[in-house]
Amino acid sequence: MTPNPLTIGPGDTAAMAKALLESEGIHHLPVVENGVLIGMLSSSDFLKLHVLRKRPRALEAIKVSRLMEAEPVTLDVSADLIDVATKLGQGSFHALPVVEPGNVLVGIVTSTDLINHLLMQIPGGDGSLREQPRTEPATRVSDDDITTAIRLAKHTLDSGTTSKLAEAVLHLRDENRLLKEVCKAAELYLRSGLAEREHSTLQKRLADVQHSH
C-alpha cells in the first residue's frame, strides 16, 4: 500500500479536490474527518455533475460530501494480497483505502499497485525477478507492461491454474475498456452542449459498466 495517502475533507470544495487530483497526477482521494475515513472521491465522480442532467454550478460551491462515495469498501490493514485481488476484481472501483480498527485510514491500494506486484513476479531474461524501487514510488505502468501482465494472466488461467490475481487483472482489463467508452461518450456529451442524443449514449455506456458487475 501507499501509506499516509493524500486526503481531503467532506467540507472542502470540489474545486480543491479536482485541483489536487490533477496536480498530483492521482485518481483517488480518501475523504477523512477527524482521522476517520468516511468516503472516497475519484476523478470519475466529477461525471455526476453532468450525468444528473443539471447545469453544474461553480465547483467552488459544491462540497466533496456531495460527490464522494460514502461508506466505501475498505481493506483491513492485516489483509493479504488475495483479499486485495478479490475485492478489486469484484468491485466497480480501482482503489481500496486501508484502515485500522475504528475506520482510521492508514494507506491506500490501487489496481496499479496490484499490476505492479504481478509484474514483479515475472522473471527477467536471466531468470531473476525485478526489483521494486526502494527510494522512489513505483513508476507509471507502461503499455508494454500492461500487455505482458494480461498475457501472463491469460496464460495462467488457460493452463487451468486457479488464480484470483490473474482473474482480477483480466477483470480490470475488461472494465478499463468500458470506462474508456464512458470517457469518450462523456467528452462528446460535453462538446455537444449537453445534447439529448449524446446524453442517451453516455447513459448507455454507464449502464454497460454497471451491468458488467
pLDDT digits (tens, 9 = 90+) for 2-14: 898 999 999 998 8
Report pLDDT digits (tens) over 131-176.
554 444 445 567 777 888 888 888 888 888 888 888 888 888 887 7
Q: Which three cell numbers stand for residue 118?
A: 504481478
Higher pLDDT pick, 85 / 108:
108
Mean pLDDT calculated for residue range 92-116: 88
Topology (CATH) of 2-211: CBS-domain (3.10.580)
> What is the structure's pLDDT at 83?
87
Q: Output the pTM of the full model.
A: 0.59
Provide the CA 145 distance to its chain's centre, in angstroms. 18
Domain ranges of the chain: 2-211
Q: Which residues contact 67 (CB under 8 A, 6 or more apart)?
A: 14, 17, 41, 45, 46, 48, 49
Q: Among residues 83, 62, 75, 49, which one has the least CA distance to residue 14?
A: 62
